[in-house]
Structure 1
Amino acid sequence: MFIVGLTGGIATGKSTVSEVFREHGVPVIDADVLARKVVEPGRKAWRKIKIEFGEEVFHKDGTLNRQALGDIIFSDVEKRRKLNEITHPEIHKEMFWAALRCLFQGHQFIVMDLPLLFESGSMLEYLYKIIVVTCEEDLQLQRLMDRNSVSESRAKQRINAQMPLESKCEKAHFVVENSGTVEDTRQQVIKIISILRGYRAHWKLRVFAALCCTGIVSLLIWIGFRMYSNNPAVTHLK
């Protein structure tokens, strides 16, 4: 199994692309979904956020007030860095276990939806290919304003907090232009899926995994045999 990274700018349409992969039977591990999971009340990241940012970023029921926290981190680079230090290790642990489950299920490849792939840089070494979703700047701005119900100035602040789309596209193996119709985007993604299914990188990993499993089983058998041979009761029977 190999891993494909999916990234892009905020409100460029990664969810649309992810859905096409799912429709074609390709598992998608969404970092944003896991980010919500790791900050649930009582979790390790939740406790650290409370210590670092205080009660004002939480609702009365103890759940995280994402809007309040977003207002803080998108206007303060240091606060944003601190939040990433708290949440990213926990998110990556969740992603690792999710990927491991997919490996044992026999998938050829999976997609990891990583909005801050290039900004954090921590997952790059694990990815076989990278897809960047992009769109026209004006369209991105309007989508973000409509989706999050924020002003133009706040929307621009959030967009500018990320690496420019042009720079991300330069680092990609595949680029999905999502400024047109949904069908146009679908066709681009379907073509990419076809190309990815033609790769054979997953066989190397499967052979490696099989050899590891064989080695572990052989070791367990050897240990069992040694324990059996050294058992006084067994020796006496002999």
Structure 2
Amino acid sequence: MNIGLTGGIASGKSTVASILVERGAVLVDADRIAREVVLPGTELLEQVANRFGQAILNPDGSLNRKKLGEIVFADDAARKDLEGLLHPQIRLGMKQRMQEAEDTDPGRLVVVDVPLLYESGLQHMFEQVMVVYVPRSKQLERLMARDGITAAQAEQRLNAQMDIEKKKELADIVINNEGSLTDTIRQIDHFIEGKGL
């Protein structure tokens, strides 16, 4: 079985992914794939630099994610351009890793962590979608603390994603992550027991 794991920024997807892995799931991390496809020397990094300028590169030739983020979170057209470059390669990497996991151990739960799953229209790739939920106010609070950014910058990032309440409505499985870690673990264990995994 495979599930897509998503949520809002700063909702705690990484925590939930870690717990699922501890319970025996295989994790496919779309963010990791997104970093790999733009490693120094890749054709895709060259295309991104051509579109957004050499200033998005660090002196060692690697991508300066912070500089690129400042551009794309402030400009919807730029963000769409970046997604148009990256998403096909990321999807290909996800499909390959899902297939490898299925081939290696057909009975094992495969969890694919995709931050922009609904925004990218990828729900069709998965048997079910699990959304890690916290209210928007909690997202803002966590995001500001985690990234050391202002409320305005945090709002800008949240506004670049589908509203968390909408994701919650669309989900097959909701993990409410605004309580204690024990409560989150209980919900995950309940899901796993229900699936007989």
Question: After the TM superposition, which residues 119-130 of structure 1 pair with which residues of structure 2 at under 5 Å, given as runs?
Answer: 119-121=119-121, 123-130=122-129
Shift of 1:112: 0.7
TM superposition shift of 1:197? 2.9
Is 1:20–1:190's contact at 8 Å kept on the other side of the alignment? Answer: no
Cα distance, 1:196 vs. partner?
Answer: 2.6
Larger Rg: 1
3-state SS of 2:112 partner: strand
Q: Deviations over 1:167-214 (max 9, x none)?
A: 11111111111111111111111111222336xxxxxxxxxxxxxxxx
Mapped to 2, the partners of 1:197 and 1:30 lie a distance apart of 24
Deviates more, 1:91-100 or 1:166-175: 91-100
What residue ranges of structure 2 are gaps of 5+ in the alignment?
none
Alignment of 1:117-156 (within 5 A): 117-121=117-121, 123-156=122-155
Identify the residue that residue 161 of structure 1 maps to in structure 2: 160
Question: Which residue matches 1:4?
Answer: 3
Shift of 1:44: 2.5
TM-score, normalization: structure 2?
A: 0.96
Residues in 1 aligned to 2:124 and 2:139: alpha-carbon distance in whole angstroms: 29
Count of aligned pairs: 196
Counterpart of 2:44 in structure 1: which amino acid? A
Aligned equivalents of 1:64 and 1:49: distance in 2? Answer: 9
Pairs within 5 Å for 1:164-175: 164-175=163-174
1:107 Cα deviation from its structure 2 partner: 3.5
Give the C-alpha shift of residue 131 in structure 1: 0.6
Larger fraction in helix:
1
- 2:118 aligns to what SS in structure 1? helix
Q: Once superposed, what is the RMSD of the aligned Cα atoms?
A: 1.1
Give the aligned residue type for 1:111: V
Q: Output the CA distance in 2 between the equivalents of 1:116 and 1:47.
A: 23
**What SS does structure 1 have at the residue aligned with 2:100?**
helix
Provide, for residues 124-175 of structure 1, a one-character-per-residue CA deviation record: whole Å limited to 9, x for no partner. 2221111111112222111111111111110110011100011111111111
Superposed displacement of residue 42, structure 1 = 1.2
What SS does the corresponding residue of 1:120 show, helix, strand or coil? coil
Question: In structure 1, what is the equivalent of residue 93 of structure 2?
Answer: 94
Q: Write the distance in 2 (CA, Å) between the matches of 1:144 and 1:53.
A: 25
Alpha-carbon distance between aligned partners in 2 of 1:179 and 1:27, rounded to the nearest angstrom:
25
Aligned AA (2:89): E
How far 1:48 sits from its partner (Å)? Answer: 0.9
Q: CA deviation at 1:99?
A: 1.1
* Counterpart code for 1:178: N
Q: Say if 2:110 is the partner of 1:110.
A: yes
Which structure exhibits the higher relative contact order, with contacts defined as CA atoms closer than 8 Å and separated by 6 or more residues? 2
Which residue in 1 is equivalent to 2:183? 184
| Structure 2 CA distance for aligned equivalents of residues 151 and 188 of structure 1 | 32
